[in-house]
Amino acid sequence: MPVSTASTPDTPLPRRSRRIRAYALTGGRTGTRYQLLVETLISVPRYDPALSDTLMPESRSLYERARVRCSVAELSVGLDLPLGVVRVLLGDLAAQGAVFVHPTAHAYHHDTDVLERILDGLKRLPA
Amino acid sequence: MGSSGSPPEGDLLTISAKIVVAGGFGVGKTTFVGAVSEVPPMSNEAWMTEAGQGVDDLPPGTKSTTTVAMDFGRITLRQDLLLYLFGTPGQARFWFLWDDLSRGALGAVVLVDTSRIDESFAAINYFENDSELPFVVALNQFEGKPVHDLDEVRDALALDPAVPLVTCDARDRASTIATLTELVGHTLSLAVLSGPAGRELAVGTPHA
């Protein structure tokens, strides 16, 4: 199934900026039902080349790059796409099951074990 | 990457955490992140914002899009646990982006430069009044700088006695690690105090 990008914008784009085009790719949407924090890790659990072929170039780049687990922020830097665009496109990919959205430490904030593991990890870092 | 094209077993269990490194312009945020990050600090023009959303003076009828850079680094604490450090945009008109960066963070380190303490007033104000994040204030004190008495600095910053105040050298790896350790210890002590009835935010799951 091709990635859903809602409808194409009705009005012509005022400027031919690459960044404006990037937002056009999201159908003007700026939100996603997934909470994709800048540090949220993204993986591709089962890579499917046939699926990759159906994706728009930007979504395909995200899909390909996330084959090596990567944070939302690193995807934004690596592909030079604004965070807002990365979030919307990743939300679409997650909704169709193409990518896995890892939980972040905050999902476990009721559980002090995670904080203690982080504290322990910091204390073990070579100085 | 394996020839199967699938991630290694257990990789999907890896989680990430985030600490925000804040402070005014030129107080050493990027230096701090660079001293401890295992990769050179990464940066790009991550946010697009309509100028005028802040305090820009633009002629009436003009619209202009500004991009704001995001700076960050990464530390692998364990094979399945990554810690990201994000520096905040320095300019005061980008407070609304601080909300984006702060969401889900373990806490914040507010850096203060002894020679320009006033640069960090706004950041301290933000974390005291506009954010729920635990934070510590770290006096970036490196060689050749006058050594300040911490109590005097606390007074000058009008800092709440409950907020830890430490000194650090943002260029020094061991010193930045000690500062991060101080913050996570502070966060942990608050988490133990507040218990499971604390803040709630479902992350990583659809909230339809």
Average pLDDT of chain A is: 84
The whole-chain average pLDDT of chain B stands at 82
Our CA-based measurement puts residue B14 at a distance from the nearest CA of chain A, in whole angstroms, of 7
Beta bridge partners of B202: none
Chain A hits for B86, Cβ within 8 Å = 38-39, 73
**Residue A50 near chain B (CB below 8 Å):** no
Kindly state the tokens that stand for B27: 């107080």
CB-CB neighbours of B194 under 10 Å: 12
Check CB contact under 8 Å for A102 and B16.
yes
- Could you read off the pLDDT of B100-111 as tens digits, one per residue? 899 999 999 999
3-state helix/strand/coil string of chain B: CCCCCCCCCCHHHCEEEEEEEECCCCCCHHHHHHHHCCCCCEEEEEEEEEECCCCCCCCCCCCEEEEEEEEEEEEEEECCEEEEEEECCCCHHHHHHHHHHHCCCCEEEEEEEHHHHHHHHHHHHHHHHCCCCCEEEEEECCCCCCCCCHHHHHHHHCCCCCCCEEEECCCCHHHHHHHHHHHHHHHHHHHHHHHHHCCCCCCCCCCC
Residues 55-94 of A with CB under 8 A from B: 67-69, 71, 73-74, 76-77, 80, 82-84
The answer on pLDDT for B183 being more than 60 is yes
Q: B15 pairs with which residues across the strands?
A: B81
Q: Which of B44, B192, B208 sits opposite A76 (nearest CB)?
A: B44
Q: Using one digit for the tens of pLDDT, what is the confidence trace for B65-83?
A: 677 778 899 999 999 999 9
Q: What is the pLDDT of residue B176?
A: 97
Give the pLDDT band (50/70/90) at residue A16: very low
Looking at per-residue pLDDT, the higher value among B63 and B124 belongs to: B124
Q: Which two tokens stand for residue B201?
A: 């935010």
Q: Which of A23, A71, A123 sits opposite B181 (nearest CB)?
A: A123
Residues 34-53 of chain B with CB under 8 A from chain A are 36, 42-48
Interface check A38 vs B, CB under 8 A: yes
Nearest to A60 by CA among A124, A118, A2: A2
pLDDT of residue A31: 66
DSSP H or E stretch at residue A75: helix A72-79
pLDDT at residue number B144: 59
ipTM field: 0.82
Rounded mean pLDDT, B186-199: 75
Q: Are A29 and A84 in contact (CB under 8 A)?
A: no
**Side-chain-side CA neighbours of residue A26 (13 Å):** 22
Flag whether pLDDT at B128 surpasses 70.
yes
Inform me whether the C-beta atom of residue A113 falls under 8 Å from chain B C-beta atoms.
Answer: no
A72: nearest Cα among A30, A31, A114, A43:
A43
- The per-residue pLDDT for B18 is 97
User: Pairing between strand A41-43 and A100-101?
Assistant: antiparallel
Q: Which of A39, A76, A108 to mutate to test the interface with B (most CBs of B within 10 A)?
A: A39
